[in-house]
Amino acid sequence: MSSESPAPSLFANYAVPDGAFDEWLDAHGAPRSAAQRAIGTLGAFDGDEIARTQTLAERALLNQGVTFSVYSDTRGTEKIFPFCVLPRIVSAADWDSVDRGICQRVRALGLFLDDVYGEGRILKEGRVPEDLVLGAKTYMPVARGIKPLGGVRIHIAGIDLIRDSAGTFRVLEDNLRTPSGVSYVLENRLISKRVLPRIVEDARIQRVDLYPARLAETLRSVSPIEPDRSTCVVLTPGPANSAYFEHTFLARTMGIELVVPADLFVDGDEVFVRTTRGPRRVHVIYRRIDEAYLDPEVFRSDSLLGVRGLFRAYKAGKVALANALGNGVADDKAVYAFVPDMIRFYLSEEPILEQVPTYVCAREDDRKYVLEHLGELVVKAVDEAGGYGMLMGPTSTAEEREEFRRRIEAEPRKYIAQPRIELSTCPTWDPEARRVVARRVDLRPYVLTSPKGPWVLPGGLTRVALREGSYVVNSSQGGGSKDTWVQKP
Amino acid sequence: MISRVADHCFWLGRYLERAEHTARVLHVTTTLALDAELSSEQSWAPIVIVFGERETFCEKRGEPAAGNGETVQEYMTWDEENFVSMVWSIRAARENARSIREVVSLEVWEIVNELYLYMTGGEGRREYFANRWGFYRSVRKLCELALGFTRSTMLHDTPLDFIWLGVQLERAGQTARNLDVHHHAFTTLPDKNEIVQTALWLSLLRSCSGFEPFMKRHRGAVTGQAVAAFLLLEPSFPRSVRHAVEEAYQCYTAIRPPAEHQLPGGRSLERIAMLSAVLAEEPPGGLVGDRVHAIVTQIVDETAVICAGLGEELFRYGPG
């Protein structure tokens, strides 16, 4: 149709917001070296071709049922996670420091958990305030003294990174309980290969499809018996869960069974699965159920979901749980402020990755500062996730600020504040305007830890705030995703 | 294999087979209504009975509506409250597949999901109104494709055996019910016109995909006894009750080998073996008059008992 008028270059009128670092173009509008190849090949596309590619990709995702459920939608409608075909590209040099920085961080966090559920050295020495840790809602007293099999607690972590105005990667959040999204990393790559085959081939990027095999190896490595003879399962709450697609994806690609709590039972501190040939012993459970719902004997007794006796079996070392119980205290938003100190304390190293300066409202000086600067800061509730319970200072109204002032004064432990970081932008297809626009992105790499140490998947989930001017990338609030291309060294 | 997963496999097979069967029967009846000199009533009312829906249908749509082809098709295809409508079966097949995404192959899942999106996303409805024949053909094709993909892309292992156990038991019941209702309708036809009778027997064969296979066996001689014997007892016809039950037995012995007495599922094994033996011993020549109804009733009842027994022995057992 539009072939009568020659399509303008895809990047004509591409405008990067003031103060934001763009992933593809430098401050002068010239391609960054990592993006050069992609711009060379994709630049030959016109708007119609991108639009067609985009439609193909969305159709493939819908047909494959790559969907998530939205909780607020009572009919349990499944939606595809919006996907933008224009990739996020990470240079080999940038990735090298991200990789090393994440491994360092996860090692320190693991040692921190060993410590706070063991001797509590870091608390006794006052490097991290004791009441902040022991008083956290996420601290689990019943886990005290339990040494998980293989010494591993954070088998699977997702570390959220953002990139500031200078292009420096900073850790925004650690997810050490049941981080989700890795299936989209793999699915997005499949879709990219399907709709942009030549461009993917040309781009010299690292593969991500080895993740399931590495995950299976990680799970087997902490089995109470010989790894090769172990039965590992993925435990899901069921098809109504928002991440159910991912649960099935992981079980399927690892070739292990997906179970719901009712499939399992505990007998004499051993866990069994009900099969058509009678009960079979289970050794490792990759649980995608929140720990509060795991075992009605120990946690929420009103939970209909759990497996009665599972905690006993775990404590007795007869079954490995991935991730271990009690990890929440290490990814608490207030404890986060102390991770650089943990790295220094446990590893005697300087942190490789920066993080976001954080004011912990439980500390009097910090609180005073936060209350005086509400209009400049982002305030977050420590026990909310998914972009809920936040105050975006710079764009807030006076009433909203007043509301947060009251909340912080009432329960200071519940809040932290951070300066707003300019998230970097990445070229994104806007289907309505039919052109390429700059949108904010973050990045969640995934880390697997076995007794031998951590390994980072070279890739990750790039989430993108699809609305103009938005900083919120969460899928529940209008976010989408992109394929993340980590270049080969 | 996990009991719950086995249950989902079994029902995935049943619902796919049921949806395909429904589409086929409705499709054949639309042509029958055109071919034979039958009233609309005579063509369509048996459909509602075959699917065991007479009472509910009459309650919801009124008795005369059973003779209205459009109403019957709409009810059997789109009625969301009708547990045996196509849309219900397809939704249920997809829910079962979605509950065991890690067990069925990607190919199977994609086709089942496509079928579901076709039925619920508007495309199916548009084709239903624009091209009825094309619509039924699309549904049948996707159902058969999904079942075919189970064999060509999944491990030939217990999950596949459970899917096909479901398919075969559903098939045995459907063929039996289909024969019963038509047989009953024919014997009560006021007009014993041979041409009309032949048209009806042929239509029954077609609704079981059995027209050409029957002709190959019988070289053109169409009698009620021959058709009944063919649909019930022909060992090499894939939709005959005997064939379906023997296949079901094969699937079941792979799941629960007869020699492994310590495993659960012994009673179901005996029941399937018994039904298989009844069919093997039935003399084809005797299938006239009341005998057809008697043996068909036995088959329908037995398959129901077998399915209930599977639920107790294999799908829901154990402590907790």
Q: What is the pLDDT of residues A139-178, one digit of tens each?
A: 999 999 999 999 999 999 999 999 999 999 999 999 999 9
According to the model, what pLDDT value does residue B17 have?
Answer: 97
Q: Which of B133, B153, B173 is the last residue of a domain?
A: B153
| pLDDT tens by residue, A452-470 | 999 999 999 999 999 888 8
According to the model, what pLDDT value does residue B222 have?
Answer: 85
Identify whether residues B131 and B108 lie together within a single domain: yes
Q: Which of A323, A315, A306 is nearest to A224 (CA)?
A: A315
Q: Is B122 on the interface with A (CB under 8 A)?
A: no
Residue from B101, B112, B310 whose CB has the most chain A CBs within 10 Å, to mutate: B101
Q: Which of B153, B180, B201 is the last residue of a domain?
A: B153
Write out residues 24-43 of A within 8 Å (CB-CB) of B.
none
Partners of A25 in the β-ladder: A31
How many CB pairs below 8 Å do chains A and B form together? 77
For residue A75, pLDDT beyond 60: no
The domain made up of A358-419 is a member of CATH 3.30.1490.270:
yes
Confidence band of A67 (pLDDT split at 50, 70, 90): low
Identify whether residues B71 and B147 lie together within a single domain: yes
Single-letter code of the amino acid located at A429 = W
Identify whether residues B172 and B99 lie together within a single domain: no
Residue of A nearest to B113 (CA): A63
According to the model, what pLDDT value does residue B36 have?
Answer: 65
Distance (Å) of CA B121 to CA A95, B8, B71, B146: 43, 24, 22, 19
Asked if A308 lies within 8 A of B320 by C-beta distance, the reply is: yes
Confidence band of B150 (pLDDT split at 50, 70, 90): very high
For residue A40, pLDDT beyond 90: no
Is residue A224 within 8 Å of A319, Cβ to Cβ? yes
Top-ranked range on mean pLDDT: pick from A25-34, A72-81, B176-185? A25-34
| pLDDT tens by residue, A282-316 | 999 999 999 988 998 888 777 677 899 999 999 99
Q: Which of B153, B177, B198 is the last residue of a domain?
A: B153
Residues 6+ apart with CB under 8 A from B54: B48, B66
According to the model, what pLDDT value does residue A340 have?
Answer: 97
Mean pLDDT value of segment B231-244: 96
A13-17, B17-21, B159-163: segment of lowest average pLDDT = A13-17
Confidence band of B317 (pLDDT split at 50, 70, 90): low
Asked if B117 lies within 8 A of A63 by C-beta distance, the reply is: yes
For residue B108, pLDDT beyond 60: yes
Q: Is A76 on the interface with B (CB under 8 A)?
A: no
Q: Is B4 on the interface with A (CB under 8 A)?
A: yes
Identify whether residues B134 and B93 lie together within a single domain: yes
Q: Is the ipTM of this complex over 0.85?
A: no
Asked if B3 lies within 8 A of A245 by C-beta distance, the reply is: no
Write out residues 145-174 of B within 8 Å (CB-CB) of A.
158, 162
> How many structural domains does chain B have?
2
| pLDDT tens by residue, B114-138 | 999 999 989 999 999 999 999 999 9
Mean pLDDT value of segment A186-191: 93
State how far the Cα of B311 lies from the Cα of B316, in Å rounded to an integer. Answer: 6
The domain locations on chain A are 358-419
For residue A9, pLDDT beyond 80: no
Strand A453-456 relative to strand A354-355, pairing: unpaired
Residue from A234, A256, A276, A285 whose CB has the most chain B CBs within 10 Å, to mutate: A276
Single-letter code of the amino acid located at A131 = D
According to the model, what pLDDT value does residue B190 have?
Answer: 65
For residue B70, pLDDT beyond 80: yes
State how far the Cα of A181 lies from the Cα of A459, in Å rounded to an integer. Answer: 12
Asked if A276 lies within 8 A of B3 by C-beta distance, the reply is: yes
Residue of B nearest to A273 (CA): B2
Distance (Å) of CA B235 to CA B217, B238, B249: 12, 8, 14
Residues 6+ apart with CB under 8 A from A468: A437, A439
For residue B35, pLDDT beyond 50: yes
For residue B10, pLDDT beyond 70: yes
Q: Is B95 on the interface with A (CB under 8 A)?
A: yes
Confidence band of B188 (pLDDT split at 50, 70, 90): low
A426 conformational bin, left if phi > 0, alpha if psi -120 to 50, beta if neither: beta
Distance (Å) of CA A430 to CA A9, A10, A54, A480, A484: 15, 12, 10, 12, 19
Q: Is A248 on the interface with B (CB under 8 A)?
A: yes
Average pLDDT, chain A: 90
Cβ-based neighbour number of residue A42 at 10 Å: 23
Identify whether residues B164 and B286 lie together within a single domain: yes
Mean pLDDT value of segment A122-136: 93
State how far the Cα of A121 lies from the Cα of A127, in Å rounded to an integer. Answer: 9
State how far the Cα of B254 lies from the Cα of B4, in Å rounded to an integer. Answer: 18
Among A64, A274, A308, whose Cβ lies nearest the Cβ of B3?
A274
According to the model, what pLDDT value does residue A212 have?
Answer: 97
* H or E element at residue B50: helix B40-50
Residue of A nearest to B94 (CA): A65
Structure tokens at B299: 């088959």
Confidence band of A415 (pLDDT split at 50, 70, 90): very high
Identify whether residues B195 and B141 lie together within a single domain: no
Identify whether residues B137 and B61 lie together within a single domain: yes
Top-ranked range on mean pLDDT: pick from A18-32, A95-109, A284-298, A412-426? A95-109
According to the model, what pLDDT value does residue A273 have?
Answer: 94
Identify whether residues B190 and B312 lie together within a single domain: yes
Is residue A308 within 8 Å of A356, Cβ to Cβ? no
| pLDDT tens by residue, A356-381 | 999 999 899 999 999 999 999 999 98
Confidence band of B46 (pLDDT split at 50, 70, 90): confident
Give the domain range for residue B276: 156-320
Answer positive or negative: Cα dihedral of A440, A445, A446, A449: negative
- DSSP code, position A382: T
Strand A377-381 relative to strand A435-444, pairing: unpaired
For residue A72, pLDDT beyond 70: no
| pLDDT tens by residue, A244-285 | 889 999 998 999 999 999 999 999 999 999 998 888 999 999
Percent of chain A predicted with pLDDT > 70: 93
Identify whether residues B148 and B183 lie together within a single domain: no
Mean pLDDT value of segment A468-484: 83
A11-25, B48-62, B100-114, B174-188: segment of lowest average pLDDT = B174-188
According to the model, what pLDDT value does residue A386 have?
Answer: 59
Identify whether residues B306 and B195 lie together within a single domain: yes
Mean pLDDT value of segment B220-242: 92
Identify whether residues B93 and B230 lie together within a single domain: no
Mean pLDDT value of segment A416-428: 93
Identify whether residues B99 and B185 lie together within a single domain: no
State how far the Cα of A402 lies from the Cα of A209, in Å rounded to an integer. Answer: 49
Residues of B in contact with A275 (CB under 8 A): 1-3
Mean pLDDT value of segment A377-405: 85
Residues 6+ apart with CB under 8 A from A292: A299, A300, A303
- The H-assigned helical ranges of B104-222 are 106-120, 123-130, 132-153, 158-187, 194-207, 211-218
Q: Is A281 on the interface with B (CB under 8 A)?
A: no
Mean pLDDT value of segment B77-105: 93
Write out residues 239-258 of B within 8 Å (CB-CB) of A.
255-256
Asked if A64 lies within 8 A of B113 by C-beta distance, the reply is: yes
For residue B320, pLDDT beyond 60: no
Average pLDDT, chain B: 90
